[in-house]
Amino acid sequence: MNVLNDEYYMRLALELARGTQGQTAINPVVGCVVVKEGRIVGIGAHLRMGTAHAEVHALTMAGEQAEGGVAYVTLEPCNHYGRTPPCTERLIESKVARVVVACTDPNPKVAGLGLERLRSHGIEVEVGVLEVEARELNEAFNKFIVTGRPFVTLKTASTLDGKIASRTGDSKWITNARSREFVHTLRHRHQAIMVGVETVIADDSQLTTRLSVPALNPVRIVIDSRLRVPANARVLDGEAETIIVTTSAAPEEKRKELRGRGIVLLEAGPGPRVDLELAMRMLGEREIGSILLEGGGRLNGAMLEQGLIDKCYLFYAPKIIGGPEAPGNFSFPGFDRMSEAVTIDRLKVERFDEDICIVGYPVKK
């Protein structure tokens, strides 16, 4: 075993996987590299749910050269029939001598079984090469496959004093063009984008992905307890699928109107507010495994207070606008003691020209 070589080829496999973020729906992103006698003979990535996995693409490219070679895979090869046949069988048939895996499959029903299958056929198996990077790359899949709930990423854009708009409601633009371009990349990487109806009314954003290269539009989710979404709102334009999460207090006439326009309605609780915990369960049942939350202060605050946010991207522009009535990132009653405050862990700070972005994970209590 050569640790440096293993890390080199696994980094390449991770890059292949990273390039498919946003394309695989609830499936993980996976990359594979096949090496024979110091040469790369096959590469592959999982491109779309229901299609061939990364190992199959890489082994097909390698052909007969795979025999006696090493396969580097970012996630434990599957050992069960799903939408596609098990990858373990393809590796066995290809007669690879060794399989290096970044991390095991987090699904408790299958974790370790693929590795066991390979070892039972005399294939050397190494696990844990660049494991931390691999698990972070598939953090949304890891949560969904274990809990059935979507992984929720919060994105906010504010001034240094935490304001997401001025006291008059003006919010264009707080952050710079580079920051906004990256947010569209985040949208592409998530299955859905979620806002509250107040954001729809105030901004009338289309909530689609606009990048310099073609990208997929996420499902648009609007939290709207009484169906106050305007009839001419751009989120109802049919450009992408729209789900409105409401309550039983919503008027029947508006329900019929929206359903007639192809809008999916989910009823999460009796009201007066949407039961957000129930909403997450319902969205998970619809196989939405990742959500980018771009809400206003009230929705952000409610989601944070209830422990429903898994990751944060907090963008700050070098501006101070002030105003006690100007809306902030989070609006909720708050905690009584500093010891109760939500702590953000595993912090990273990124620069987008003059803007800064704090990335981290709220600690679950």
Q: DSSP letter at 328?
A: B
Burial class (CB in 10 A: 0-12, 13-18, 19+), 1: exposed
Which residues have CB under 8 Å from 108's CB, separation 6+? 146
Question: CA 211, CA 188: separation in Å to the nearest integer?
Answer: 9
- Residues annotated as catalytic are 55
DSSP string of 124-176, one letter each residue: EEEE-TTHHHHHHHTHHHHHHHHHSS-EEEEEEEEETT-BSS-TT---TTSS-
Q: Which residues contact 59 (CB under 8 A, 6 or more apart)?
A: 32, 34, 42, 44, 66, 71, 90, 91, 94, 96
Distance between CA atoms of residues 320 and 311, nearest Å: 25
Q: Distance between CA 174 and CA 163 in Å, rounded?
A: 9
